[in-house]
Structure 1
């Protein structure tokens, strides 16, 4: 009797272990798959500006866009800026499931300036928006300092440095807006962001082929039309004096390039 009882419980024990093993195996495989997908998405977000132009513009691979904005404490984007850039990009890209925003602050680092390597390290440690399923992730980081490549004659306000990544120099933007003879903070932020988003969408000759030749021969990857949003001065403080006359728009050549690469 005891032997039969022991045998019964022993068989039940073995079956339980077997079932637990199956559950653990299935769960492990699922998690490994998730991890692999995440790692691939992170890797895919570390390519050069313009590489993802068609992915951003068309709906062939991604049906929606998640725009993550992270700012160092004390340097948030104006709410007006966020509304303007969302309204600006929506009619340019084919994303039938729409655009979602994810906005958060991160601790200030407190450096006077940042190298490109340091900027990318900050992004890698904080970014959460990556490609998932039919959703494309894009990232904007607002820093509390300057770019270490600035000079006395040229100073960066922001730049696209990966295929879905933009860095804004928040301190530089704040110091050069909102005062007499300077553009409003929102206008300056919006102009720089729209320009850099244009680079991510492949402008000019940076992933979206040119329907007609309009690349500035002296300032490559920029439009040769000085009234166009993609003119080279928009990335520098040289644009300060003209922004409040109205935020520059994309000219016909740039719009044609976007449409030819899957945009609306």
Structure 2
């Protein structure tokens, strides 16, 4: 089912201490752009003619300008030549991430140091808030795999209005876009997490069993209500949510084989975009309610060795 989720999304699309920003306004849940050339000598002899006696003396030849003199300003209306940039000219600022781009389109700037800082922005409905332990685990995993000289911080101050409901993918996209408050800039890349009450649209087989869904360049949603029935079996709600949020982060970071071809054969052919290693957080069941059927105790919540190797390849430009 997770494979269907990922395929549907792809088709639709193609540190330690939080540094809060001013809290955004509460977001309402949406309803369901020089002269002519000398004449040649005709006789082949001396071409220097004698000047008449009463002719005025010829003007002295102009003194040539020194070799290093500045070029004269053109007088024919043409613009002066452009200055040659010096070797130490500042490079252009990097292009900010397009938060509305397709899934996995921002993994390289998220992993590489060109944009120095990362912020994880979290907006939640009342009752769907993610715990500090879950968010710190998410930030820690991003710190581990990304080159972030400016650090990783979390801002969980955002609130979303609305009640428990079923959410279509269109609804999810709309509320995520409306709730963003921290912009993508040349200095800061933002991962946006939306936590909603209820469940995804049960009439959509692509998302019906999902606990989390990565659906954009930098955004994903989680449904904390969906883990309530699994909590006792799998080590508690936080144990499950730690796994789910890191799994969705992995998709934003291009795992597995999203926009690259891994040198390691670890993708599950039956669940594209996922690892076949059930000790990896990128195992397909992690993001769906099938997690309760395939695990006993806390599910894996960290990247596997093959995942880490792929992320290093993306971070260093090998992929």
Is the 1:75–1:142 Cα contact (8 Å) retained in structure 2?
A: yes
Match of 2:215 among 158, 161, 166: 161
Distance 1:182 1:161, change over 3 A: same
SS at match of 1:133: coil
Q: What is the rounded CA distance, in whole Å, between the counterparts of 2:264 and 2:234 in structure 1?
A: 35
Deviation at 1:74, TM superposition (A): 1.4
Match of 2:4 in 1: none
Deviation at 1:249, TM superposition (A): 3.1
Is the 1:208–1:257 Cα contact (8 Å) retained in structure 2?
A: no
Q: What is the rounded CA distance, in whole Å, between the counterparts of 2:291 and 2:262 in structure 1?
A: 25
Match of 2:302 in 1: 249
SS at match of 2:247: helix
Matched, 1:133 2:186: yes
Is the 1:228–1:248 Cα contact (8 Å) retained in structure 2?
A: yes
Q: If you compute each CA radius of gyration, which structure gives the higher value, 1 or 2?
A: 2
Deviations 1:58-114 (A, max 9, x none): 11x311101100110111101111121112221110001101211124243224200
The structure with the largest helix share of the pair is: 1
Is the 2:139–2:153 Cα contact (8 Å) retained in structure 1?
A: no
Match of 2:122 in 1: 69
Matched, 1:211 2:263: yes
Q: What is the rounded CA distance, in whole Å, between the counterparts of 1:159 and 1:57 in structure 2?
A: 20
TM-score, with structure 1 as normaliser? 0.76
TM-score, with structure 2 as normaliser? 0.64
Distance 1:79 1:92, change over 3 A: same
Q: What is the rounded CA distance, in whole Å, between the counterparts of 2:157 and 2:237 in structure 1?
A: 19
SS at match of 2:136: helix
Match of 2:171 in 1: 118
SS at match of 1:89: helix
Is the 1:94–1:263 Cα contact (8 Å) retained in structure 2?
A: no
Distance 1:248 1:126, change over 3 A: closer
Q: What is the rounded CA distance, in whole Å, between the counterparts of 1:170 and 1:116 in structure 2?
A: 17
Matched, 1:95 2:148: yes
What is the number of equivalent residue pairs in this alignment?
Answer: 221
Deviation at 1:127, TM superposition (A): 0.7
Match of 1:261 in 2: 314
Question: What pairs with 1:11-160 in structure 2 (closer than 5 Å)?
Answer: 44-59=98-113, 61-149=114-202, 155-160=209-214
Gaps of 5+ in 2: 1-94
> Following superposition, which runs of at least 4 residues in structure 1 exceed 6 angstroms of deviation?
none
Deviation at 1:134, TM superposition (A): 1.6
Q: What is the rounded CA distance, in whole Å, between the counterparts of 1:83 and 1:243 in structure 2?
A: 24
Is the 1:191–1:243 Cα contact (8 Å) retained in structure 2?
A: no
Distance 1:197 1:147, change over 3 A: same
